[in-house]
Structure 1
Amino acid sequence: MRPDKRGVLELFERPQRYVIPLYQRRYVWSRQRQWEPLWADVQHRAEAVLSGERRVRPHFLGAVVWSYVRPTGREVPAYEVIDGQQRLTTFQILLAAFRDVTADIDPDIHRELERVTANDGMREHEFERFKVWPTRFDQPAFEQILDARDVTMVTASVEQARTAFQHVSALAAGYVYFAGAIRDWLMENDPVQRADALFQALRRHLQVVTIDLEEDDDPQVIFETLNARGEPLQPADLVRNFIFNDAARTNEHQQRLYDTYWVQFDEDKSFWRTPAARGRLVRDQLAWFLSAFLTVKLNEEVADSAIFHAFKRWWQARPEVNQPDSAELGLRELSRYAATYDQLNHAPATTRLGILTRRLEAMDISTLTPVLLYLLTESALDEAGLVPLWEDLESYTVRRFVSNLGTKNYNRFFLQLLQEFRRHGVNRSVLRTFLSRGAGESVRWPDDAEFHRNLVTSPVYRKLRARGVSMVLEAIDVQLLSGKQEKLHIAEALSVEHVLPRSWRKYWAAPQATPDIENPDAHRDALLHTLGNLTLVTGKLNSGLSNGPYKRKRVELARQSRLPLNRFFQDQQEWDEAVIEARSKSLAEHALIIWGAPDEAHIVQAATEAESLTNATTQLDQAQALLAQWFPKTFYFEEVVDGFQLLMRHWSRSLKYQLLVEEGDQGEYFRLGLYDLVPSSEPFKQDVGKALVKVAEQVALHFGEYQVEFTPSSIEILLPEDTSASRLVSAVMRFLLLTTAPVELALAPYIRSRRIGWALPGVVAAVQPLLPAGYFLHSRNMRDGSTYQQVGHGGWETYLRFEIRPKADEVIVAFHEELHPAHPAKARLKSIWPQLFQQAKEAFPARKVTIEEKSELSRILITVPVRTRAHTQDVAVTLVTLIHTLHPLVAPLMQPDEM
């Protein structure tokens, strides 16, 4: 082996190629995990050049291992990449983005970047012009990006594909990301100067370790050693190694420092090595602590993937970095904050800090951790001085939580709060002024009127989830007990009980009609999830109460529960809508006392009530309404907690689609999934599983810009919180088009069938492989007694379809429309029906084409003579031809107006 180090530009300056072998995986780097940390490193070095630092320390971006390939003829010299192909490919798309952004900024730099992104001169093959040649799966996208030289065009293409939920190449997405990041950075000030600084950073200060294999080195053994042996180092391991290497540099006693300061972090099964969840991310407590600690020290958000690099920046920027005891001073500071972090996580539930952390956990808010760390570690306030700050922070987060205002901008907002404390000192006036002056939905502090209104009228169980409702009710229960909730707590985990059950239609009498309530059932449904209909009980009591009548529930609540919250039921003999509304108002009054109002003197008034607030739950509700209006009747909806599920009427109920709202560390998001809960005893279980595996790749391609998760029995897509209702509808429709037909095909052989006409089975077999994307055979038409076969489209209602109807010696192929007269597409279809008929006649000049119209039914019928089994293929071809002829005219009319 011949190791060396080279700058990023130096890798590509000579005419040579880096070829990715077939056995390497395709390009998989992504924005959050790799591109953003890489750009942060590049930007940091460029800014060091820009600031005029005389000695910019080089930053290493990893290693690349390659083996020389002897050229023949006019071939450009090439190296086969053994390890580091993702890195090399990323460097090329970054340089291509830099090249294209500077086309109108600096011709000299643009010319240099042209030279490092293409080989000129003689070559054996045209593709040898590329410095990197990816695997065959990535070659078309790579070639298109490198040759386009147009950021606007590539960006538009990527955005168009994203909008349509079509496959977006990771290479194209990476190019668009880097182009945008580079352009934004260059345009901050003096683009020419900044372009030169970025160029110099890539040439001199961002380096790669290269390992050139010699003839007696075995590339496969080295590849396996680099990629398949040992566990990857975690950020905390890298931090530890860095600290003690630095201690060796300053000649400090490493063993003493380790035993004194670090050993606690390495102990197996200790608090620091305990996994903890933040939304969907699970990390050791040590990783979460380092992220929070560095956020305080650097006053910037530090993601898990950037912990090590951020730590090095903090460590090397300390004033004492050149002192003889530099490492010990750094470890002492780290330990001081670690003790505070431990205090935060183990604060007794009877203390005000313990109550705050418990409620923040219930709301899934971890972005306040750096602020709490700073206040506890750096402020001179004792507990009595900190309690008012805890109360204001809790009021701010709870009021926003109840008002569904989201947590999306909390990271940046709380970083600004840290700056305020550093600038003006830590006191309640600084905090209240800062929290109160926030304007806009992402940061404002709701006032009494808004908070009270949301507690009384909002379906809090659906919007806050069970954990959030439990937190609110527990706080009110403690307030009812003593008025001093900070000194008391509920030790046992309790369940949220609906007094009026969610399935009230099955078990309770219908509500009484009144002159002022137009729809009593809808009015009751609107109150079902409001605060007044909810209470807390033990899990055992919850299951015992279930859907029982109120008289039995009241007795059990009064007799079994000792909570002040449930004393209400001792004297309340009836339970109806008026009682629910009155109790909501009463509970809301107590909540106003617990979580006080913001400082009216500093409030920037929020938007008027006429302005609609958007959040994930409202988007979900709107999407469901759109789908209910436009969706094929082959599906039906069922509401579940946090969303709804879709079921195909002729499928097993164990096969279902779901769309849910969930909460994570960065806010809410949507989970769209198809779930196979079919028991293993069912004969079609295995075939359905195979169908899901087969379709998973297509789903990944079309939704590649989003997180797609697979298991043997599920396919799930995670969509961001800001996905609009119309986009959710598009996502659901695309998901169904990709998955419905394969599942139908897997189920079809297991649905009972018999010979219902001598031609039909043969036609069905011939049609199946010819159907265009989105079309499927209705398996319900294959059971006993069926006399025809329906062919549906995943985005249409069942009353709009194609059909095959066998007769004595012929088969009728038909386009069938039987939509309800009120359906918005009915009139549209009627207006083009003559055009559809004419198109069908022109497509089948030798066939008998007729039209049949009744009051609500219209059909175009094509007669196909079938006298022998050999003629069934003619029917299949006729059907598919008819689909291709009519689909372009019909499909646009079946799209929702809102989409």
Structure 2
Amino acid sequence: MEDVFKPDNKTIRQIFGDSDAFYRMPVYQRPYSWDKERVEQLWYDVLDAYKNHKDDETLDPNYFLGSVVVVKKGNHYEVVDGQQRLTTLTILFCTLRDLNLDLVKKNSILNSIKDLVEDKERLKLTTHLNNQALFEETVLRGINFNATKTELFDNRFLQTALYFRELIQKAQDKNQEDYINNFSDFIDYLFDKTTIIRIVCFDEGFAIKLFTVLNDRGLDLTPADIIKAYLLQNLDEDRRNNFTEVWKRIENTCKLSGENLQGVFNFYLYYLKSDNPRKALQDELKEQFKDKNPQEIILDIEKFATYILEINANNKDKDISMLKYLRQSIYWKSILATAKQVDYPNYDVLKSLITKYYYQSWIANGTSNRIKQTSFNILKKVKQKSNIEEIKALITDNLNKYDNYLGFLSNENAYWTNWHKPLLLSIEYYQQDARDFIPISRDLHTEHILPKEWNKKDLNWSDTFSETTAKPLLNSLGNLTLLSGTKNIQASNSNYMAKIDVYTGNSGKGIDGKTSFEITKKVIEDYKVWNAESIQNRYLWLIKETQRILDI
């Protein structure tokens, strides 16, 4: 019976350099979509593994980049799973090529982009038919590093190329933390030590089923299962029973806190290590738990999990409410749970400081890599119960390396940022003494006071605004406020006086009373008309409130 699939562990060089290494994207694949965060994550994962290996040859002799599932179709492969990674790597190769780097493996880089087949050039990877021309013209044939905003708009391929250029330049700048002493050696590691399991299937239906199984079920054993077995192995029957009872309580605590067990173990590892983990979660914890009493360990974990629950359940604290909007929770939750675990004396000041730090970094387009090392340094200081002024100095030193966050608030496209709604909610919390946490749900909307369709013929906004004056103000911070879903539907694309009626509940359409958001009430109270001057004045007020909340 012919095999239905064949897995092979291959280096990046082999994945792209073998004689049969030609990949196409089937029509049902989604378009290329990686953002800056994902691109940086791939880069720094490989970079961290490389540095680990240079420091200690026993660490990360190879770095595993995951698996790809492909279907053999004649003289090429169709990619069922893995297209985002393969496309991102191809863009990296093109970026290295076009930066004219004097690399030992330059020819290998070129051969990873295209190859000669029967005296004809053939691309190693082609994307969707609708996007192939854009991919070829803006990346594969040569990258325009001076592309305009218009050329960059909606071109993920070119955006990724520019992200990689920035990362490569940092890696070659001796004044940067990310400097690589031997960049060519790093490229060798990427090509020859970084591996991907290529699973070749000979039936497309089976390939799709395999992809579903790999993504939905995962491994049979989780890191938490492995740690549990590791701790149990040295206990007698009675102590195992006691251990198991505590473990059950921890699982229940995790469920109540809305965290999975593995997530809490990750928080706990950060507390123990206060440094960037170099190995898999279970391997790191085994190292931390070596020669320690399993019963003491499990009780300490239970105590830590209880603090995570306490933090997550706090719906009235302004700082906690703000922190809950952050995309990365592992750092701030680890820091605050650690502070509770060691009984840090300045918990409230610490909580306020890290809130300001993470928000300033977020607004200034900082990624998780920007805050990573500083977060670990804060953890160390908290564990040592260092003076709060030392932690404040760590934070301000890091912030001073980057552009001030205030400059980003004037962005005329603030509406399209992922921080604008959390920022408005933060200002909302500080308009009153106490306010329960407001989740960002489908019912919570950002309202454009000057509406998106302000120039409709049945509206009178054209009496006050022109195309020239409206364009830079429409999506700016000063023109945005908060409304519930029902109110937003009623208020959208209306004249200002009609909006005021909706905001106050006087529209006669059954809306239940005045808006519940203080920052929206303030619009009604402060502005009888809404014009360019009103938007500017409200922007200045929002800036003043933001500084009151976030300045250190």
Q: TM-score, normalised by structure 2?
A: 0.61
Counterparts of 1:532-547 in structure 2, within 5 Å, are none
Alignment match, 1:241: 222
* Aligned residue among 493, 514, 527 for 1:656: 493
1:105 aligns with 2:86: no
Alignment match, 2:317: 358
- CA deviation after TM superposition for structure 1 residue 198, in Å: 2.0
Distance 1:4 1:84 in 2: 15
1:220 aligns with 2:205: yes
- SS of 1:41 mapped into structure 2: helix
Counterparts of 1:260-409 in structure 2, within 5 Å, are 260=245, 262-264=247-249, 266-267=251-252, 272=255, 275=258, 284=259, 289=264, 292-297=267-272, 299=274, 312-313=279-280, 315-317=282-284, 320=287, 323=290, 334-345=301-312, 358-364=317-323, 368-379=332-343, 386=345, 389-393=346-350, 408=363
Distance 1:338 1:425 in 2: 20
Alignment match, 2:155: 169
Distance 1:287 1:377 in 2: 19
Q: Would you say the 8 A contact 1:93–1:175 is kept in 2?
A: yes
Q: Deviations over 1:356-392 (max 9, x none)?
A: x72323545677533322222235x6xxxx2xx1453
* Aligned residue among 92, 95, 101 for 1:94: 92
Q: Would you say the 8 A contact 1:100–1:110 is kept in 2?
A: no
Query: What is the aligned-residue RMSD (CA, Å)?
Result: 5.4
Q: Would you say the 8 A contact 2:254–2:264 is kept in 1?
A: no
Distance 1:462 1:494 in 2: 13
Alignment match, 2:164: 178
* Aligned residue among 61, 64, 69 for 2:65: 61
* Aligned residue among 352, 366, 379 for 1:418: 379
- CA deviation after TM superposition for structure 1 residue 239, in Å: 11
Q: Deviations over 1:596-624 (max 9, x none)?
A: xxxxxxxxxxxxxxxxxxxx99xx9xxx9
* Aligned residue among 70, 77, 83 for 1:85: 83
Alignment match, 2:542: none
Alignment match, 1:630: 466
- CA deviation after TM superposition for structure 1 residue 118, in Å: 1.7
- CA deviation after TM superposition for structure 1 residue 8, in Å: 1.5
- Which one has a larger percent strand, Structure 1 or Structure 2? 1
Counterparts of 1:526-565 in structure 2, within 5 Å, are none
Distance 1:54 1:66 in 2: 32
* Aligned residue among 216, 222, 226 for 1:232: 216
Distance 1:109 1:9 in 2: 10
Q: Would you say the 8 A contact 1:45–1:201 is kept in 2?
A: no
- CA deviation after TM superposition for structure 1 residue 98, in Å: 3.2
Distance 1:313 1:230 in 2: 19
Distance 1:143 1:257 in 2: 63
- CA deviation after TM superposition for structure 1 residue 298, in Å: 5.5
* Aligned residue among 51, 55, 79 for 2:55: 51
Alignment match, 2:514: none
Q: Would you say the 8 A contact 1:273–1:286 is kept in 2?
A: no
Distance 1:121 1:324 in 2: 59
Alignment match, 2:529: none
User: Would the alpha carbon gap of residues 655 and 311 (structure 1) be closer, same or farther in structure 2, given more than 3 Å must change?
Assistant: same
- CA deviation after TM superposition for structure 1 residue 136, in Å: 0.6
* Aligned residue among 188, 202, 209 for 1:200: 188
* Aligned residue among 131, 137, 154 for 2:130: 137
- SS of 2:7 mapped into structure 1: strand
Distance 2:285 2:70 in 1: 39
Query: What code does the residue aligned with 1:84 have?
Result: G
Distance 1:66 1:395 in 2: 49
User: Would the alpha carbon gap of residues 119 and 331 (structure 1) be closer, same or farther in structure 2, given more than 3 Å must change?
Assistant: farther
Query: What code does the residue aligned with 1:337 have?
Result: F
Q: Percent identity?
A: 14
User: Would the alpha carbon gap of residues 24 and 86 (structure 1) be closer, same or farther in structure 2, given more than 3 Å must change?
Assistant: farther
Query: What code does the residue aligned with 2:379 have?
Result: L
Counterparts of 1:485-634 in structure 2, within 5 Å, are 629-631=465-467
User: Would the alpha carbon gap of residues 373 and 443 (structure 1) be closer, same or farther in structure 2, given more than 3 Å must change?
Assistant: farther
- CA deviation after TM superposition for structure 1 residue 338, in Å: 1.6
Q: Would you say the 8 A contact 2:91–2:160 is kept in 1?
A: yes
- CA deviation after TM superposition for structure 1 residue 241, in Å: 0.9
Distance 2:466 2:286 in 1: 65
Query: What code does the residue aligned with 2:307 have?
Result: T
- SS of 2:216 mapped into structure 1: coil
Query: What code does the residue aligned with 2:127 have?
Result: P
Distance 1:494 1:132 in 2: 47
Alignment match, 1:29: 33
Counterparts of 1:764-779 in structure 2, within 5 Å, are none
Alignment match, 2:419: none
Distance 2:295 2:181 in 1: 40
- CA deviation after TM superposition for structure 1 residue 54, in Å: 4.3
User: Would the alpha carbon gap of residues 201 and 247 (structure 1) be closer, same or farther in structure 2, given more than 3 Å must change?
Assistant: farther
Q: Deviations over 1:437-491 (max 9, x none)?
A: 99869699xxxxxxxxxxxxxxxx98954432223xx5xxxxxxxxxxxxxxxxx
- CA deviation after TM superposition for structure 1 residue 6, in Å: 0.7
Query: What code does the residue aligned with 1:131 have?
Result: K
* Aligned residue among 480, 498, 503 for 1:643: 480
- Runs (5+) with no aligned partner, structure 1: 71-76, 276-283, 302-309, 348-353, 445-460, 475-491, 496-615, 646-651, 659-678, 680-723, 729-899
Q: Would you say the 8 A contact 2:67–2:197 is kept in 1?
A: yes
- CA deviation after TM superposition for structure 1 residue 206, in Å: 2.0
Q: TM-score, normalised by structure 1?
A: 0.40
Give the greater-gyration-radius structure (CA). Answer: 1
- SS of 1:120 mapped into structure 2: strand
- SS of 2:77 mapped into structure 1: strand
Q: Deviations over 1:747-796 (max 9, x none)?
A: xxxxxxxxxxxxxxxxxxxxxxxxxxxxxxxxxxxxxxxxxxxxxxxxxx
- CA deviation after TM superposition for structure 1 residue 407, in Å: 6.8
Distance 2:211 2:261 in 1: 27
Distance 1:640 1:171 in 2: 29
- CA deviation after TM superposition for structure 1 residue 427, in Å: 4.1
- CA deviation after TM superposition for structure 1 residue 287, in Å: 7.2
- CA deviation after TM superposition for structure 1 residue 316, in Å: 3.1
Alignment match, 1:156: 146
- CA deviation after TM superposition for structure 1 residue 178, in Å: 2.4
Query: What code does the residue aligned with 1:220 have?
Result: G
- CA deviation after TM superposition for structure 1 residue 16, in Å: 3.0
Q: Would you say the 8 A contact 1:118–1:130 is kept in 2?
A: yes
Distance 1:438 1:33 in 2: 19
- SS of 2:79 mapped into structure 1: strand
Aligned pair count reads: 435
Q: Would you say the 8 A contact 1:2–1:211 is kept in 2?
A: yes
User: Would the alpha carbon gap of residues 56 and 627 (structure 1) be closer, same or farther in structure 2, given more than 3 Å must change?
Assistant: farther
- CA deviation after TM superposition for structure 1 residue 2, in Å: 1.9
Distance 1:61 1:257 in 2: 40
Query: What code does the residue aligned with 2:16 have?
Result: F
